[in-house]
Amino acid sequence: MVRDGYFYALGFVAAAVLIGWFAQPVWAVVPMALALFFLWFFRDPERVIPDAPGAIVSPGDGKVTDASIVSVNGEKQARISIFLSVFDVHVNRSPIAGVVRDIRYQRGKFLNAMNVASAEQNEQNIVRMEGDGQVVVFKQIAGLLARRIVFYQKVGDRLERGQRVGLIKFGSRVDVLFDATASLQVKVGDRVRGGESILAYLQPKGELAIVGRYSAAEGMR
């Protein structure tokens, strides 16, 4: 359980007690139901983190809404977008093991997270990580209901794959961008679990260089 859930729940329990005391007890049902909802919403289940080399795991629970190749600053990148409904676990996890190289918070709109434009226009937290010579960027993107993005780490921190890194309160979206040569393991419509579902496999940069040299040598024969 994320501690925020206790704060919200205690507030509604207090409201239920006051309403039940000063008004009709039946009216206390609504704040008590909301208290239970927040306890459920801020759940934080344990996950089995894959240890496969090069695996990129999902940073959140939800439904894959995009798995495509996009151009970022003139460079081709694979992008996987995951929509988190209000019914999903909203704790976010690190997609890879590596070092946080950059964190940038971008103010913006609160479009529906299913909207393609939300990837660029919505309020979001952009984290760039480096591990095994590869760079992976993941975004915590606010949605129509989301109004607060939480990220616990700072630049220079070393993270383990699947480590808890923050959360987005209420409906939202997470995007993961990485090298276009990666082997994708999911498609649009798939359901994924944060820290547990493998989105793709990356080749370490050293291996890519070896493959490139081998191919070039073959071409010269």
The residues annotated as belonging to the active site are 172
CB within 8 A of 27, min separation 6: which ones? 19, 20
Contact 203, 54 (CB under 8 A): yes
Is the Cβ–Cβ distance between 15 and 31 less than 8 Å? yes
| Number of other residues whose CB lies within 10 A of the CB of residue 139 | 22
- Strands in 98-106's sheet, in edge-to-edge order, are 158-159, 98-106, 124-131, 134-142, 172-179, 75-84, 62-72, 191-192
Cβ neighbours of 209 (radius 10 Å): 12
Amino acid at 211: V
